[in-house]
A = this chain, B = another copy of it.
Amino acid sequence: MKKLINDPADVVADALRGMAAAHPRLRVDHENRVVFRGDAPVQGKVGLVSGGGAGHEPMHGGFVGPGMLDAACAGEVFTSPVPYQMVAATQGVDGGAGVLHIVKNYTGDVMNFEMAAELVAAESGTEVVTVVVDDDVAVQDSLYTAGRRGVGTTVLLEKIVGAAAAEGRPLAAVADLARRIDDSGRSMGMALTSCTVPAAGKPTFDLPEGEMEIGIGIHGEPGRRRVPIAPAREVAAMLVEPILADHAFTDGVICFVNGLGGTPLIELYVVYAEVAAILEESGIGIARSLVGPYMTSLEMAGCSVTLLQADDELLRLWDAPVDTPGLRWGA
């Protein structure tokens, strides 16, 4: 295992120390492993809390700041955080207007956030609404599984919903918007290589030299199929076609090509070019784009494509100022 870490058991704590040192405008609660925006709670604003296993940086801690999340809880690598972290985050961002929990659909995340919401309900008057993101079209038979996984749409949702909360919208409206975004976003990913969970010390799976995995999840959960490696043009088609088959996208989408951690930007741009070409042929204009490693899977090589159907309101909220380590503009 070749990684820039100290003891594998300390990876998350060490990375949080790094975040705290690099971003003085964030406040890191090291005991609870929660990244807060420095001025939380913001009075009168709906608080946005997300979180999940580590290993997906900059998600979620890197999306904390004005215009996006108020707090993010970090679990161990690929392991959901625990309820008391979410309780601490919720209490720390409660500015009197309630708190939205943004939860990616994984059994562990859902159960831990559920227990946290139960604890908050029992202990305090804070109103909590939970939105579960499940946008991974690679999961076809949601009836026989834990349901679609939450992937790339989460990043776009946190940005857009963050802007809505910053405008002072009430909790119910913010939650409705979040659900609408989850309904309008679809993703599909692929991997060229596996990744190594530090505590495990070995690659999670084995992906031979000539093969790639289409439809993989962000923890290395296997995908739809293994196929021989192919040119970026064909890979883009393998990702975009199931997305278009699953949802009727029309003109004006946000197109997000995400890197999984080990794939450099030059390759992501090559993929973006092919994705854009397919969308153009399909008559689906791209209103906004995002290209880069925003939701990683440790050092896995590969990418995912997310399309989100936008409209004037969503685009206005997308363009609104955001000031986080991972996404920043207008501020």
Partner of A264, one of B7, B14, B193, B262: B262
- A6 surroundings in chain B (CB, below 8 A): 231-233, 270, 274
User: A1-45: contact bitstring with B at CB < 8 Å (1 yes, 0 no)?
Assistant: 011111100010011111101110000000000000000000000
Interface of A is mostly: mixed
Copies in the complex: 2
Instruction: Using A14-B273, A15-B267 as known contacts, list a sample of 12 further A-B pairs with CB atoms less than 8 Å apart, ordered by residue number in A.
Output: A2-B193, A4-B235, A4-B271, A5-B232, A6-B274, A17-B273, A21-B273, A54-B266, A58-B265, A263-B299, A293-B293, A330-B331
Could you tell me the distance in whole angstroms from the C-beta of A93 to the nearest C-beta in chain B?
Answer: 22
User: Given A15-B273, A232-B14, are A267 and B328 neighbors across the interface (CB < 8 Å)?
Assistant: no
- A residues contacting the other copy or chain, number (CB 8 A): 62
Assess whether A329 is interfacial by the CB under 8 Å rule.
Answer: yes
Question: What is the interface of chain A, defined by CB distance below 8 A to chain B?
Answer: 2-7, 11, 14-19, 21-23, 54-55, 57-58, 62, 192-193, 209, 212, 229, 231-233, 235, 257, 261-274, 276, 286, 289, 291, 293, 296, 298-299, 301-303, 323, 325, 328-331
